Structure 1
Amino acid sequence: MFDKLESIHHRFKGLEEQMADPEIISDQKRFMKINKEYKDLKPIDDAYHSYKEIKEGLESAEGLLNDKDPEMREMAKMELENLKDRKEQLDEEIKLLLIPKDPDDDKNAIMEIRAGTGGDEASIFAGDLHRMYMKYFETMGWKTETLYVNEGSAGGFSKISVEVKGEDVYGKLKFESGAHRVQRVPKTESQGRVHTSAATVAIMPIFEMEDIDINKADLKVDTFRASGAGGQHVNKTESGVRFTHLPTGIVAESTDGRSQIKNREIAMGRLYQKIREVQQAEFDDKVSSTRKSLVGSGDRSDKIRTYNYPQNRVTDHRINLTLYSLDKIIEGSIEEIIEALQVYENTEKMKEGLTI
C-alpha cells in the first residue's frame, strides 16, 4: 500500500509544479482540470505523509526496544503500541481513499422526473419530488436551469427536466435513478383510502465533448421540428436533434432545450450514456454473473424507494434503509439517504475490488 501512496504522492507533486507553470495558468480550462485532480489527490497525499511519519516512528521505537535503559525500553513499548493503533486506523482510512471513484462523479447532471402509474396523483407526486430535490440543491449551493416542463392537469408535472451544476453533482444524484413510489391518501379521495402511485427519476451526467470518445464518422445527425409542450419555438425551428450511432444502432434525441445547441449537448450526453450502459452490462457479465450494480442500468422500472405518508416512513429498498422522517425528507433533507448509499457502494467495492 505504501508503494501506491508514494506513486500518488509523486503525481501530486507533479500537478503542483504544473499549476505554477505560466503556460498552464493562462489556459483556464486546462488549469481547472489540473486543479480538480490536485484537490482530489490532496487527502491521499496528506495520508501519505501521516503514513510515512508513523512508519518512521515504528522503526525508531522498535530500535529502542533493546536499549540498555529500562525507562527507554518502557517508553519505546508504549510508543510502539500507540503507533500501531494509529497505523491500524489510518490503514482503514487509506483503503477508503484508494477506492477508485466513478470518473463521472464530478460531472454536472440532468435530472428528469416523469409521472408514472397513478393518474393525477402521480403527477402531483412528481411535483413533490421536484420540490424536494430543488430544496436539496439549494442547501448544496448548486445552480439549476429548467430545460423542459409539461405540467399535470391537476398539478405537479407529467415531465420536467432540470440541469444541475455544482460540485460532485452526479456522484450525489446517481443513486436517485429509478422508480419512486408514494403511498398516501390523495386529495381527490373522498373515503380516506390510501393509494399507491409512482414517479420515475433519471439522472444523466453531462459530458464535455472531450470526454466522449466516439468517432464522428460513426454518427448520423438529424434535426427536426419538435412537437408537444415546450413553447411555440419548438414548432417554428428545427431545434430537435437526433443522433444515431451507426455501429450499434443506438439512437438518442432531445427536444428539451430551447435551442439546437442545447439539444445537441443533451442528445450527445444521452447517446454516450446509452453506449456506456451497454459496455457496463458487458463488463458486469464478464466479472460476475451474480453482481448487480447498486444503481443498476438506471432502468426506471426498478422500484428503489417508497414514501409512506401515513407512517411518516421512507424506505430505500436497495439497502433496506428505513427512516421515519418523511416530513423532513420531502422538504429536501435527503443527505442521510445519499450518504448511506455511498457507504454501501464503497463497502461493496472494497469487498469485490471492482471499479464502476
Structure 2
Amino acid sequence: MFDRLEDLLRRYEEIMNELNEPTVTANQDRFRALMKEQSDLTPIVESYREYKKAKQDAEDSLFMLESESDEEMRELLKEEHSEAKKRIQELEQELKILLLPKDPNDDKNVIVEIRAGAGGDEAALFAAEMYRLYVKYAERNRWKVETVGVDEIGIGGMKEVSFMINGKGAYSKLKYESGVHRVQRVPETESGGRIHTSTITVAVMPEVEDVDVVIDDKDIRIDVMRASGNGGQCVNTTDSAVRLTHYPTGIVVYSQTEKSQLQNKAKAFALLRAKLYDIEQQKAHDAEAELRRSQIGTGDRSEKIRTYNFPQGRVTDHRIKLTLYKIDDIMNGDIDELLDSLIAADQAAKLLKMNTQ
C-alpha cells in the first residue's frame, strides 16, 4: 500500500509542476485532464502527508522520551506519542478507503425513476412524497432538478415520475436508493384506522453520454403528442411531448415537461440512454454474483431496502439494519445519516473483501 502511495505522491508532484508551466493552458484537453487527475489525487495525497507527519511525530516523541529525565516532561511526551499512534491508525484506515477502486459513475449526474407498486392510490401518494423527498435533498446540496415525465393521479399522487438531478457526486450518494421502498401507515381514505402497507420502486441511474451508449436510428420510433395528465407545474398543454420506443428492448420513455419539442426529445434520449446503460450494468453485476453481494445498494431492484413506518415514526434500512426515529425529518429530505451509514457499510464490505483476498 505504501509503495503505491509513494507512486501517487510522485505523480501528484509531477502534475503540480506541469500545471505551474506557463504554457499548460495552450492545450485545453490536456489541462482539463491534469486538473481532473489533480482533484482525484488531492485527498489521498493530503491524508498521506498527514500520515507521514504523524509517523514522524511518534518517532520524535519516542526519541526524546529515551533521553528525558524530568517526570512531567516524560508524561507530556508519552501523551504526544499515544496521540500520534492513534492518529496513525485512523489515517491508515482512511488511506485504505481512499485507495479502494472508485466507481467510474460516482461523479455523474443521475436520472431517477419512481414507480408506484402495490397499494393503489396510497402507493401513488407515497411515490409523490418520495419525489418531493429527493427534490428537497437535492436542494440541500444545491443540485438542480429537472422533471422528465410524470403520470399523476387526481388526488396528488404519482403513478410514475422520472427526473434528472444535476450535481457533482450525485450518483455516489443516491445510487444506494435503488430498490423497493415500503410504507406502513393509515391512509387518509381509510375510515377504520387500519394500517396499510404499500410499496414503490426507485431506480437510480447515472447519466451517460452519447459515446457511452450508441443508439441506432433504425431501432427507435419517435412519436410527438400533447402531454397527458392532470396539469399542474409538471405538464404542458402543447403538442411537444415526446415518446421514444426502443424496439430491441421494448423500452418506452416519455418526456412532457418542456414546452419545446427539442428539449423533451433531449430529455427522453437521456432517460433512454440511462436505461440501456443500466441494463448492461445489471448484466455485468449478474455475471459477478460475488461482487454484487459484497456491495451495498447495487443489488436486485426487486429487493426491499427500506420501510417507512409512520405510526411509530421510524425508518428502517434493511440492508444495514439501521433504524432511525425521525421520519418527519427524513421525508423532508434529511437523508444524510442514512446515506452516510450505507456508504460506510459499503466501504467496510469492500475492505473486508480486499483483506481476505
After TM superposition, the score normalised by the length of structure 1 is 0.82
Contact 2:241 2:254 in 1 (8 A): no
- Where in structure 2 are the equivalents of 1:12-161 lying within 5 Å? 12-20=12-20, 25=25, 31-32=31-32, 34-57=34-57, 78=78, 80-161=81-162
Which amino acid counterpart does residue 181 of structure 2 have in structure 1? Answer: H
In the alignment, does 2:246 pair up with 1:242?
A: yes
Query: What residue is the counterpart of 2:297 in the other structure?
Result: 295
- Is the partner of 1:38 in helix, strand or coil? helix
Distance 1:261 1:53, change over 3 A: same
Distance 1:309 1:58, change over 3 A: closer
Backbone CA RMSD of aligned residues: 3.3
In the alignment, does 2:209 pair up with 1:208?
A: yes
Q: What's the % identity of the aligned pairs?
A: 37
Give deviations 1:65-108, integer Å, cap 9, x for gaps.
776x7569969974655543332232122222222222211110
Contact 1:241 1:264 in 2 (8 A): no
Contact 1:313 1:325 in 2 (8 A): yes
Gaps in structure 1 of 5+ consecutive residues: 245-249
Distance 1:22 1:277, change over 3 A: farther
Contact 2:175 2:298 in 1 (8 A): no
- Where in structure 2 are the equivalents of 1:325-336 lying within 5 Å? 325-336=326-337
Which amino acid counterpart does residue 98 of structure 2 have in structure 1? Answer: L
Q: CA deviation at 1:295?
A: 1.7
Q: CA deviation at 1:190?
A: 1.1
- Is the partner of 2:168 in helix, strand or coil? coil
Which amino acid counterpart does residue 102 of structure 1 have in structure 2? Answer: D
Query: What residue is the counterpart of 2:232 in the other structure?
Result: none
Q: CA deviation at 1:222?
A: 1.8
Q: CA deviation at 1:243?
A: 6.8
Distance 1:122 1:82, change over 3 A: closer
Distance 1:65 1:120, change over 3 A: closer
Deviates more, 1:322-331 or 1:87-96: 87-96
Query: What residue is the counterpart of 1:247 in the other structure?
Result: none
Q: CA deviation at 1:114?
A: 1.0
- Is the partner of 1:337 in helix, strand or coil? helix
Q: CA deviation at 1:145?
A: 0.5
In the alignment, does 2:10 pair up with 1:10?
A: yes
Contact 1:144 1:164 in 2 (8 A): yes
- Is the partner of 2:255 in helix, strand or coil? coil
- Is the partner of 1:207 in helix, strand or coil? coil
Query: What residue is the counterpart of 1:221 in the other structure?
Result: 219
Query: What residue is the counterpart of 1:255 in the other structure?
Result: 254
Deviates more, 1:31-40 or 1:328-337: 31-40
After TM superposition, the score normalised by the length of structure 2 is 0.82
Q: CA deviation at 1:144?
A: 0.7
Contact 2:182 2:307 in 1 (8 A): yes
Contact 2:221 2:244 in 1 (8 A): yes
Contact 2:242 2:268 in 1 (8 A): no
- For these two proteins, the number of residue pairs brought into alignment is 340
Which amino acid counterpart does residue 352 of structure 1 have in structure 2? Answer: K
Contact 1:238 1:260 in 2 (8 A): yes
- Is the partner of 2:334 in helix, strand or coil? coil
